[in-house]
Amino acid sequence: MAVSVAPLRDEAVSLLQALLRLDTVNPPGNETEAAELVRGFLEEAGVACELYARVPERANLVARIHGRGEGPSLLLLSHTDTVVADPAEWSVDPWSGELRDGCVWGRGALDMKGHAAAAAVTMAVLAREGFEPAGDLVFAATADEEVGQDYGLSWLCREHPDAVRTDYCVNEGGGDWVLVDGQPVYLCSTAEKMSAPFRLRVHGRSGHASMPGIADNALVRAARLVERLADFSPPPRLTPETEAFFTALGSVPAPAALAESVAGLPPDVRAMVEPMLGTTVSPTMISASQRVNVVPGLCELVCDCRLLPGDSPADVEPALRQYLGADGYDLEWVEAVGGTRSPLETPLWEAIEAFVAAEEPRACVAPVVSAGFTDSHFLREAFGTVAYGFFPMRAMEPELAARLVHSADERIAVDDLELGTRFLLHVARTLGG
């Protein structure tokens, strides 16, 4: 049965509206409601579904169209939880799913119930057609992405690996349309930085605050380090992703000209590319004396720190210590998570390029490294899955979309919802064909 575009669009809109009307703010999440809703929709289309839940109210849905066992498997990944919303800040009820000005409004419309609805509609359309892919086509709508307390994909990968083990995955985290020197570019996230926060314990000598001269104020010492850390910027470095990014745009700058080339990018693109060039450090938390009249002998400073994929804290620490100077503090890494990458030359990349070429012949696709953590990491780490973040958007300006995610008046353009659905259909048919 051939499916024309109008029903596709309507189906995606109405499923998204139904999803937005469920409050799945995490915490507490309550994602089971969303999993049940999508299960009802998919089973009606003949797609086999399974719910997996560590606790009953936080279910993950996994749906599958079985393949012929002759080709790679593909996972369409999404999450159903959202961050909180304050109705006082919104122009509409954040759980209304209202259709207004060509957009569907509600908390999670962009992050990422829109993408989830598009993927579910993709599964339904293909199942109704009797699509039999070469390898399994899997759809997962998982819990707990926003907080990450191990109810969602991390738990599935560990406890039910057979449900989500796949060769390829399309996830959130990319698909933005940007313009560089008149060239339209779709950004595809193929890797992500490692999140490796560290703690500095800055030492001084405590004393009565009425006589500062007798003490050595650890907070004041720390203040100097905070300023130093805020200016930390190691020499920019090319990675396979940045190299491919500049290749897509025309030419790869020489290492010495890298900083200059990035400075010349449009501001929205520069903000995305700058973190791809090296370690970033942001001092974010500080604590010192508990009493106003006691000069602290110890000040604790915690910094958010993101490393390029492939780097480890041990690689970065010597440069950091050298930059800060040798003594007066202890440096301790709090944790190190993420930092995985997928190869760039793959059938999934080709499928994305082919879609963009057909959709917008002048446009190209360029890889980016996500500065933040995504669930793609768990798949790369557990199964070596080639996982990319890509959900094309071009009706809504990327600056506006970036501003709306996790903020008031979050909404997705219906045109983008349809574009994303057509993209997922294209990828499923291409890899499964």
Which residues are near Zn ion by CB under 5 A? 111-112, 172
Is the Cβ–Cβ distance between 349 and 132 less than 8 Å?
no
Nearer to Zn ion among residue 73 and residue 370 (C-beta) = 370
82/166 with CB nearer Zn ion: 82
The residue at minimum Cβ distance from Zn ion is 111
Q: Which is nearer to Zn ion, 58 or 258 (CB)?
A: 58
**Shortest CB 115 distance to Zn ion, Å:** 8
Output phi, psi for 131, to 5 deg.
-60, 130
DSSP 196-221: --EEEEEE-B-EETT-GGGSB-HHHH
Closer residue to Zn ion (CB): 73 or 376:
376
DSSP assignments along 64-123, one per residue: EE---SSS--EEEEEE--B----GGG-SS-TTS--EETTEEESTTIIIIIHHHHHHHHHH
Coil, helix or strand at residue 415: helix
Of 296, 319, 297, give the one whose Cα is nearest residue 307. 319
Residue type at position 402: A
Neighbours of 272 (CB within 10 A): 22
Least separation in angstroms between residue 161's CB and Zn ion is: 22
| Residue 146 CA neighbour count, 13 Å, CB half | 21
> Please, which residue, 98 or 111, has the CB nearer to Zn ion?
111
Nearest approach, Cβ of residue 30 and Zn ion (Å)? 17
Identify which of residues 20 and 218 has a Cβ nearer to Zn ion in the complex.
20
User: Smallest distance, Å, CB 403 to Zn ion?
Assistant: 15
Residues 397, 359: contact at Cβ < 8 Å?
no
Nearer to Zn ion, 112 or 305 (CB): 112
Supply the minimum distance, in Å, between the C-beta of residue 140 and Zn ion: 13
Closest separation in Å from C-beta 135 to Zn ion: 26
Shortest distance in whole angstroms from residue 251 CB to Zn ion: 34
* Both structure tokens of 325: 């100077």
